[in-house]
Chain A
Amino acid sequence: MKGRVGDESTGSWTAAARRQLERRLPWENLLPDRQPFYVGSWVYVFGVVTIAALVWVVLSGVVLAAFGPQWWHLSSVGRFFNSLHFWSVQVFFVFMVLHLWGQYFMASWREGRAPTWMIGVVTFAISIVAAFTGYLSQQNFDAQYIAMNAKDAVNSTGVGWFFNVLNFGQMYGLHVMLLPIAIIALVFLHIVQVRMKGVVPPIGHGAKPAVRWDLRKK
């Protein structure tokens, strides 16, 4: 009988989505306990250090947002969290660029991994905007100086009608809400793509691309 609950032949989109997920992202790929031998290199560590730094960026940012500018400028604990936020951003960018170099020289877009690469590029671009809005959200003279100097450059690109660097509320809202949501969502998709397609093998290694193949029990 068609339309019965639990009948996967009905063509319902939930059943189709479940079948696709089970086919393209089985549990052994999503949470692998083995990786190919070539993953044992420090170059493959750059990406996970970037994610670790992002976790610290988000956690310290949540605390800063909860207590506000007076706290992060005037109290010693606030200054500590302010510095923690700043330096974890530095680590985030340094290791994101190192990760980019490593993946660029390995041509990591090979064998169906173009979406992984493109999501990474977009994440990088949005992270730059997030960092920029962060500098504008400091609530000090430095932030005002940056905003006053940036406004003409931003206006010359044509996005000034929407992206007003002198509008603190807009910059702060973008920095603490929309841009972090975008970055976290894209990083999640990036990791899912890596799990689906597998870690890229070194050039000339000759390994098959699929994770499932690499993880197959011998």
Chain B
Amino acid sequence: MDQPAGYLHWGFILISWPNLLVIGLMVVLFGLALILPFPGHGSTTEKEK
């Protein structure tokens, strides 16, 4: 922990692994928010019937 983070250097992209991990987790969280059903709500089509 008491040392500088490692970096991903891929072409012109230079980003630390912790920052890349946070961005990756945010993308996953965003995807899950789109997919996972919200508690107490059925599907839209079910509601529209």
Residue numbers of A with Cβ under 8 A of B are 37-38, 40-43, 45-46, 94, 97-98, 101-102
Other contacts beyond A38-B44, A98-B26: 19, CB < 8 A: A37-B41, A37-B47, A40-B38, A40-B40, A40-B41, A41-B33, A41-B38, A42-B32, A42-B33, A42-B34, A42-B36, A45-B33, A46-B33, A94-B26, A97-B26, A98-B29, A101-B30, A102-B30, A102-B33
27 A-B pairs in the complex with CB atoms less than 8 angstroms apart: A37-B44, A37-B47, A40-B38, A40-B40, A40-B41, A41-B33, A41-B34, A41-B38, A41-B41, A42-B32, A42-B33, A42-B34, A42-B36, A42-B38, A43-B33, A43-B34, A45-B33, A46-B33, A94-B22, A94-B26, A97-B26, A98-B26, A98-B29, A98-B30, A98-B33, A101-B30, A102-B30
Main secondary structure on A side of the interface with B:
helix
Tally the A-B contacts, defined by beta carbons under 8 Å. Answer: 30
Report, nearest first, the 6 A-B pairs whose CB atoms are least far apart: A40-B41, A42-B33, A40-B38, A43-B33, A41-B38, A37-B47
Closest to A42 in B: B33
Residue numbers of B with Cβ under 8 A of A are 22, 26, 29-30, 32-34, 36, 38, 40-41, 44, 47
Nearest CB of chain A from residue B42's CB, rounded to whole Å: 9
Nearest CB of chain A from residue B35's CB, rounded to whole Å: 9
CA distance A137 to B18 in the complex (A): 23
CA distance A42 to B31 in the complex (A): 10
CA distance A68 to B34 in the complex (A): 43
CA distance A101 to B29 in the complex (A): 11
Closest to B22 in A: A94
CA distance A37 to B47 in the complex (A): 8
Nearest CB of chain B from residue A96's CB, rounded to whole Å: 11
CA distance A37 to B42 in the complex (A): 10
